[in-house]
């Protein structure tokens, strides 16, 4: 079965005003452009023009192969969410267009993905060509179009970060890579090349330092990220705006080759590319700094419950601004502690969402160690500290919570939230130990891995959860929005 990529866009110079759309159909396996479509549609709104572009792209794909599957990419969050069934369609001018688009292919044969505007340049240029033609009293002409040429010869854009939880994009890349593998000369299905190191992506920190709320023995103490500061690790964020000084065309080619290598590695006999639908994605935001954070003191759920410092509030504002730019968060859930509720409130206000409180997201109770530094605990309770570092079942002095108990609580919380937010992207505002535990459980890593992750104040991580029970860590300790 063939698979097509449809990229569509629409624009209005006035909203409503003179409007036009553009649509491109390409082969998912080769990337070859198969059809272009554009039209000046008179006076209309941006959203109506976008729907007209979608409809034209789907019809062009259907004309090429009515039995194909289609993956639609648009920079209109409204159209993508409405056609995916997650948002209601209220505008009377868009309802019939959406219904018509849904009838072009049978149900289940079309998937939708939001992409940043810079990745939709071909369709955008077509829409502008159509509006330019309309302004001159004519219509768009395919032979006269230079949209594909302009897009191909223009400056290669930096490979943009994907929105958190946008696992559909990754799945599409793997399917494309698998198809390339099957058709490449001398490369049989399932053949794996010699092992090569995978590139570091998605903002994962390469630093050897660890911050589990306490320093790891033998590791240098990390410096908490603050607005305007920079990290000693390369943290190109999948959620934030990033730039590259490397040759960008080469970077894109290397990424495509990495996708092919990964596809060949996993394409063993018997694996099927089953479509499991949109995953639920938890974007994990650690709260901003409190007065205790730069002092590196134990601060769990059994202590003084400090509020954010001025630095912490600034960090929360920066995280909120970045998440608002991405536009992918559909719900906000917070730990009940003051520092997380304050952080969540700042972000939710920027996103126009309410905050749900979930007790299961609270920090570990550190018992008698609350408010103490690691060195002070080492001096006062050396045996208890050594036992705690050696075993996940050991509790902090005074009846605190063990890491094993925390993991059990987080697993139960995860399951509750997944049941309540199937297929949605949810921001969880929580603490060091819960976030590291979400990541550890997703990776199937041992408890001691908690001491081997760096997690800065106001950092972002992300985990996607699929219908078959598997999980994928998409991001870890991204602090690019704080620089």
Which residues belong to the active site?
A: 287, 363
Residue 249, exposed/middle/buried by CB under 10 A (0-12, 13-18, 19+)? exposed
Residue 27, exposed/middle/buried by CB under 10 A (0-12, 13-18, 19+)? middle
Contacts of 24 (CB under 8 A, 6+ apart): 6, 7, 8, 33, 35, 36, 37, 57, 122, 123, 126, 148
Task: Report the candidate in 371, 306, 298 with the shortest Cα–Cα distance to residue 337.
Answer: 306
Rounded distance, CA 287 to CA 460, Å? 10
Lookup: tokens for 242: 């990033």
Residue 305, exposed/middle/buried by CB under 10 A (0-12, 13-18, 19+)? middle
Contact 189, 181 (CB under 8 A): yes
- Helices and strands in the chain: count of H runs, count of E runs: 13, 11
Interhelix angle 248-266/167-183, rounded to 10 degrees, is: 80
Cis upstream peptide for 16 (omega within 30°):
yes
CB atoms within 10 A of CB 236: 18
Lookup: tokens for 350: 């920027």
């Amino acid at each position: 079965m063939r698979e097509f990529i449809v990229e569509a866009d629409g624009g209005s110079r006035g909203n409503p005003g003179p409007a036009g759309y553009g649509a491109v159909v390409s082969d998912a396996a080769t990337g070859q452009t198969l059809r272009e479509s554009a039209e000046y549609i008179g006076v209309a709104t941006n959203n109506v023009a976008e729907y007209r572009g979608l409809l034209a792209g789907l019809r062009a794909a259907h004309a090429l192969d009515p039995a194909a599957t289609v993956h639609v990419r648009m920079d209109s969050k409204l159209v993508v969410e409405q056609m995916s069934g997650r948002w209601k369609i209220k505008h009377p001018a868009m309802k019939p267009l959406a219904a018509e688009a849904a009838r072009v292919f049978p149900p289940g044969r079309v998937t939708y993905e939001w992409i940043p505007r810079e990745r939709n340049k071909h369709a955008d240029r077509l829409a502008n060509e159509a509006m330019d033609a309309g302004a001159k009293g004519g219509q768009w002409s395919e032979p006269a179009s230079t949209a594909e040429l302009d897009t191909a010869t223009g400056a290669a854009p930096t490979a943009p970060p994907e929105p958190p939880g946008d696992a559909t994009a990754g799945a599409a890349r793997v399917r494309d890579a698998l198809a390339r593998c099957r058709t490449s000369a001398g490369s049989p299905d399932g053949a794996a090349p010699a092992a090569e190191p995978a590139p570091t992506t998605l903002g994962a920190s390469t630093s050897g330092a660890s911050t589990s709320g306490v320093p790891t023995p033998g590791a240098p103490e990390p410096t908490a990220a603050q607005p305007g500061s920079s990290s000693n690790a390369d943290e190109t964020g999948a959620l934030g705006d990033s730039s590259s000084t490397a040759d960008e065309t080469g970077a894109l080619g290397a990424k495509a080759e990495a996708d092919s290598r990964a596809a060949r590695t996993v394409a063993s006999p018997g694996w099927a590319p089953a479509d499991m639908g949109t995953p639920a994605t938890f974007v994990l935001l650690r709260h901003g700094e409190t007065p205790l954070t730069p002092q590196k003191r134990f601060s769990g759920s059994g202590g003084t419950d400090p509020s954010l410092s001025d630095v912490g509030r600034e960090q929360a504002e920066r995280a909120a601004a970045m998440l608002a730019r991405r536009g992918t968060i559909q719900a906000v859930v917070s730990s009940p502690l003051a520092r997380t509720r304050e952080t969540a409130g700042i972000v939710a206000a920027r996103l126009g969402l309410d905050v749900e409180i979930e007790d299961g997201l609270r920090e570990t109770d550190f018992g008698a160690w609350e408010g103490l530094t690691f060195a002070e605990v080492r001096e006062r309770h050396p045996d208890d500290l050594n036992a705690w570092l050696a075993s996940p079942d050991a509790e902090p002095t005074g009846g605190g919570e063990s890491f094993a108990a925390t993991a059990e609580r987080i697993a139960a919380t995860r399951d509750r939230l997944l049941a309540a937010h199937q297929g949605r992207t949810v921001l969880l505002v929580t603490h060091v130990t819960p976030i590291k535990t979400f990541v550890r459980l997703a990776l199937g890593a041992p408890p001691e891995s908690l001491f081997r992750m760096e997690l800065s104040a106001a950092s972002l991580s992300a985990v996607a959860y699929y219908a078959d029970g598997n999980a994928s860590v998409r991001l870890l300790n991204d602090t690019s929005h704080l620089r």
